[in-house]
Amino acid sequence: MRGIARMIDAPPLDTHGMNPAKALHALGQSLWLDNITRTLVADGTLARYIDELAVTGLTSNPTIFEQAIKNGSAYDTAIREKAARGLDAETLFFELAIEDLSRAANLFRPVFDATNGVDGWVSLEVSPLLADEAAATVRAAVALFAQAGKPNLYIKIPGTPAGLGAIEDAIAAGVPVNVTLLFSDDQYVAAAEAWLRGIERRLALGLDPTICSVASVFVSRWDGAVKDQVPAALNNQLGLAMMRRCYRRYRELLASPRWQAVANAGAHPQRLLFASTSTKDASLPDTYYVDALAAPDTVNTIPEKTLLAYGERGRPGAVLAADGGDAEAVLGAITAAGVDIGALALKLQRDGAQSFVKSWQELIAVIAAKAREA
């Protein structure tokens, strides 16, 4: 993959004849699959997505694993075997997840190597029960990264106020981090600064600064939260406007002297990642958010259903403007309609953290139930 400055200033590419997913890849945006199952990896489906739809990475979360384990039998034998070894449900889960993600990481390893570690990643989340315990989160991140033994495994840590210290410390310890649960530009910048502090600490100690990271900002939940609070003309505009603002802050960071200092020492950028990009409003095209968020040197992680739809009928829109385009005008109109965007960002993050805990508890309960059946 080309260097950051060259990529974001590159002229438009000729994408004639490419399917929409490959066209996005050609302009410098990575498409990652937001899904993982044992079957998806084993039956060749993931390999086909890599080949046909330019998928260059993968993310996971407890809900994805809970659904895969509960609704199928692919994990039953492994659960029985691990339960017979006396593993508790949480330890058992992480063994299952690391097995799946290690196989996926192997499929993405050629991309990882070809891009010098910029792309080709998979992600594993720490227990959300540790969200308010920074030291415990860092210990878990270090242990999981070591257990997997894969250089292209991100450990997901929420970018909540309590998580920022854990992000910095994990990066300083050499653990690649996918910062999750970000909504606003302020939350994104706080996460980016935590990552930068971790890199700067490594440089001060004479350590390798190429500890990669992505910062995941969530899109569609914004629009669901204000659906009944704004005029019809502003429906489904808040999420995209906030992403345009985040992209402007991202580009500003990449132009800053602070970033240039660590880049000159060999650091890779922490890439902006658009998450929660499936369409929740049935009146919208199912590729709505992916179409609108084309941007060089960013990542878009999308559910399998959205990926397949995009490969068939995606319509990549104009590349996001470095200055945020009309983001401030749209956000101003939404504020004038009575929405406190700053307060809503905090609520979305708090609600998201609670949702993560609920999903985790459901996952552990499913595994424990299957283990008892052994």
Domain CATH for 362: 3.20.20.70
pLDDT of residue 11: 41
Q: Is residue 313 part of a domain?
A: yes
Tens of pLDDT, residues 105-162 = 999 999 999 999 999 999 999 999 999 999 999 999 999 999 999 999 999 999 999 9
**Among the options 156, 280, 305, 347, which is catalytic?**
156
Which letter, b or e, does each residue of 54-76 get, where b requires 16 or more Cβ atoms within 10 Å of its Cβ? bbbbbbbbbebbbbbbeeeebbe
Asked whether residue 301 carries a pLDDT value surpassing 80, the answer given is yes
Q: What is the pLDDT of residues 177-190, one digit of tens each?
A: 999 999 999 999 99
Domain span at residue 201 reads 4-9+20-372
Q: Does 314 fall in a domain?
A: yes
| pTM of the predicted model as reported, rounded to 2 decimal places | 0.94
Q: Roughly how many angstroms between the first and final C-alpha of the chain, as a whole number?
A: 47
The confidence band for 5, taking pLDDT boundaries of 50, 70 and 90, is: very low
Domain assignment present for 15? no
Residue 203 domain-assigned (yes or no) = yes
3-state secondary structure 33-48: EECCCHHHHHCCHHHH
Task: Kindly indicate the confidence band of residue 2, based on its pLDDT and cuts at 50, 70 and 90.
Answer: very low
The structural domain count of the chain equals 1
Q: Using pLDDT thresholds of 50, 70 and 90, give the confidence band for residue 229.
A: very high
370 among known catalytic residues: no
DSSP 3-state of 222 = helix
- In the predicted model, is pLDDT for residue 243 greater than 50? yes
In a domain, 336, yes or no: yes
Q: Taking all residues of the chain, what is their mean pLDDT, rounded to a whole number?
A: 94
Does a structural domain hold residue 337? yes
Q: What is the pLDDT of residue 292?
A: 96
Closest CA to 175 of 145, 207, 217: 145
Instruction: Answer yes or no: is pLDDT of 6 > 60.
Output: no
Is residue 363 within 8 Å of residue 93, measured between CB atoms? Answer: yes
